[in-house]
Amino acid sequence: MVQGVCYHRARARTMTISQAIQNLGETGPRSNHLFETLVTNVLKTHVEQQKKPFQTEFQHPLAADAFTPEGFDQFAGPTLIKAHFNLTKLPLSLTTNRILKMVQVMNKEQKLDQVLMVSSKKIPDPFKQKFHDSIDKQQLPCKVLLWGPDDLQKIANKHKAEVKVITEKLFPLRLEAAKKPPEKDWKTDRAQRIEQLKSDFAQGNFTLVLGQQVAASAAVPDREALLNTLHVHYLQQQQGKEKVITADNRALLIGKLGAVNEPSTRMVSNYLRQGMRQNHQEQDQKVYFETLTKAIYGEPETATKAPEKDGEKPTKAVKKSQLKPSPLIENIATLCLSKRTGTPVDAVISYNYDDLLEKQLSQHHIAHASLYHGQQAYDPDELPVYHINGFLPEQRDGYEGLDQSALLFCSESQLQRYSDPYHWSNLVQLNNLRDKHCLIIGQDLSDANLRKLLEVSARNTENPQHYTFIPRLTADAFGKARGKAKEGDTETQFLLEWHHTLTEACMSELGVCVIWVEDEKEVAGVLGQIQ
């Protein structure tokens, strides 16, 4: 009796492949990556016990997960292996085209005998027939075979102890697989990702998502600086004419407010902003927008003044601008140009308030429409530029309904938007993240709302379909942050290696592929390669 109880408990602790798959979740890149890890580790155990090689690293970028040069079991000869969380959910034409590309790339190094596709979901017979019909039309020089979870279970049954360890340590194995081998240079890996981005971009169906660093490249103040500008402006109003804050001291105070007691400053600035917005007097509204516009673009141009006395020269029109030319914004606008095959960029989503991109688009004669509230429409031949956080153009006369553009500065406003899934800005973002490739530029993805929308949109994809640029953390910068900088510090190198690995893994689960850069200035050059 005791033996029977012990046997029952032992069986309960042994997880089947189907149970392991259920624990992976239902959809999204995370489920797909974990299933790939499960398949490769189970098959690696099986193949290596047959004293045969099993490879997971390739010289050329492949969409495959593993390669067995000598095959295994009934698969005689070189076999390429690819795991799909749900093969039947993907468009059949997309799947067969990916297989064709894998075979073409791999055959440059070694001729394949077969490709094994492994799905976590049972494959119905009608799908198998359609799949093989589609493969036959491609006239591939090798066989393509399909496996479901039952086929994988047969392999797992031969290695119960090893598979138990694999299922229990699936997440650490996933991270280990995501690590780059020491001999692989990250710049080489980046070059391959840029080539993939260029290939995807050439096919169109892209949305550009622009963050704060895009505006910062032209010296536009960030959100905190704009709030502090409001703060100082109202302090000056309260002083009256007797005590005037000079322009130099005003700039100094704005910077100090951002560095000293920042949380308190933010609350006070938000309070001032809200108080002004709640006052519906036209003059107050005008001052509010003028103050912020000057903070972004500088003082407006002064009119030319005629000489008052004989011999005096006329005063020239002068504008005190703090902005500077931005190669990054220039290259972003160039990406929006129509090509022979059409316009690759369907929309732009901007988290910035300025109209610098619109000015560049006009210089390139690109028809566009600035959209900043939910009641606007645009012509089919116009490029929509959505200003999600509000819009502050330098010249307000050319736009209608700007008062309806809610400028998001404070956390209260953001929480209100997050809580409304049908807000026009949330719908715009979700539709683009779900249906298009997105190239995210100058956005660190720390925005809670954007991350949530990425999580939702990633449920319908197996692999990342978006791209973002992230500056790499260097050993020198990390060493200075720790109070020391040692060349070749093994501890630092270890931490940086895992930092970059974890960052890529987190981004991948949001459906985003990371393109590493040394600093933000390098992004403009990469965009130039894509054009």
Q: What is the Cα 98 distance to its own chain's centre?
A: 23
- pLDDT classification of 268: cutoffs 50, 70, 90: low
Tokens of 291: 């103050």
pLDDT at 259 exceeding the cut of 70: no
Mean pLDDT along residues 84-108? 83
Among the residue ranges 28-32, 156-160, 166-170, 507-511, the one predicted with the least confidence is 28-32
Q: Where in the chain is the domain with CATH 3.40.91?
A: 2-178
Chain segment 377-394, per-residue pLDDT in tens: 899 899 999 999 889 999
Say which residue, 278 or 208, is predicted with more confidence: 208
- So what's the pLDDT on residue 151? 93
- pLDDT classification of 357: cutoffs 50, 70, 90: very high
- So what's the pLDDT on residue 235? 64
- So what's the pLDDT on residue 105? 82
Closest CA to 206 of 488, 440, 381: 440
- So what's the pLDDT on residue 282? 55
Portion of the chain with pLDDT greater than 70, in percent: 76
CATH class for domain 201-218+325-530?
A: alpha beta
The three state secondary structure string of 201-255 is HHCCCEEEEECHHHHHCCCCCCHHHHHHHHHHHHHHHHHCCCCCCCHHHHHHHHH
* CATH classification code of 2-178: 3.40.91
Say which residue, 5 or 528, is predicted with more confidence: 528
pLDDT at 101 exceeding the cut of 80: yes
Among the residue ranges 91-95, 230-234, 395-399, 511-515, the one predicted with the least confidence is 230-234
- Please tell me the distance from the alpha carbon of residue 326 to that of residue 186, in angstroms, as a whole number: 27
- Please tell me the distance from the alpha carbon of residue 306 to that of residue 313, in angstroms, as a whole number: 8
Chain segment 103-153, per-residue pLDDT in tens: 888 877 778 899 999 999 899 999 999 999 988 888 888 899 999 999 999
Q: Centre a 10 Å sphere on the Cβ of residue 101 and count the other Cβ atoms it contains.
A: 13
- So what's the pLDDT on residue 127? 92
State the pairing for strand pair 466-471/512-517: parallel
- So what's the pLDDT on residue 405? 72
- pLDDT classification of 284: cutoffs 50, 70, 90: low
- Please tell me the distance from the alpha carbon of residue 55 to that of residue 120, in angstroms, as a whole number: 21
- Please tell me the distance from the alpha carbon of residue 522 to that of residue 331, in angstroms, as a whole number: 12
- pLDDT classification of 7: cutoffs 50, 70, 90: very low
Tokens of 373: 């509230």
pLDDT at 5 exceeding the cut of 70: no
- So what's the pLDDT on residue 458? 87
- Please tell me the distance from the alpha carbon of residue 274 to that of residue 168, in angstroms, as a whole number: 52
- pLDDT classification of 187: cutoffs 50, 70, 90: confident
**Average pLDDT in the chain:** 80
Output b/e per residue, 30-64; b: 16+ Cβ within 10 A. bbbbbbbbbbbbbbbbbbeeeeeebeeebeeebeb
Among the residue ranges 274-288, 358-372, 391-405, the one predicted with the least confidence is 274-288
Mean pLDDT along residues 405-433? 77
Among the residue ranges 166-170, 172-176, 499-503, the one predicted with the least confidence is 172-176
Chain segment 301-341, per-residue pLDDT in tens: 555 556 666 666 665 555 556 788 899 999 999 999 987 66
- Sequence-distant (≥ 6) Cβ neighbours of residue 130 within 8 angstroms: 92
- pLDDT classification of 363: cutoffs 50, 70, 90: very high
Tokens of 108: 């440059």
pLDDT at 515 exceeding the cut of 90: yes
- pLDDT classification of 8: cutoffs 50, 70, 90: very low
Q: Where in the chain is the domain with CATH 3.40.50?
A: 201-218+325-530
Among the residue ranges 14-23, 80-89, 466-475, the one predicted with the least confidence is 14-23
- Sequence-distant (≥ 6) Cβ neighbours of residue 445 within 8 angstroms: 451, 454, 468, 507, 510, 512
Query: Is 78 in a helix, a strand, or coil?
Result: coil
Say which residue, 396 or 229, is predicted with more confidence: 396
- pLDDT classification of 482: cutoffs 50, 70, 90: low
- Sequence-distant (≥ 6) Cβ neighbours of residue 469 within 8 angstroms: 440, 441, 442, 515, 516, 517, 520, 523, 526
Specify the amino acid at residue 197.
L
- So what's the pLDDT on residue 6? 42
State the pairing for strand pair 437-441/206-210: parallel
- pLDDT classification of 10: cutoffs 50, 70, 90: very low
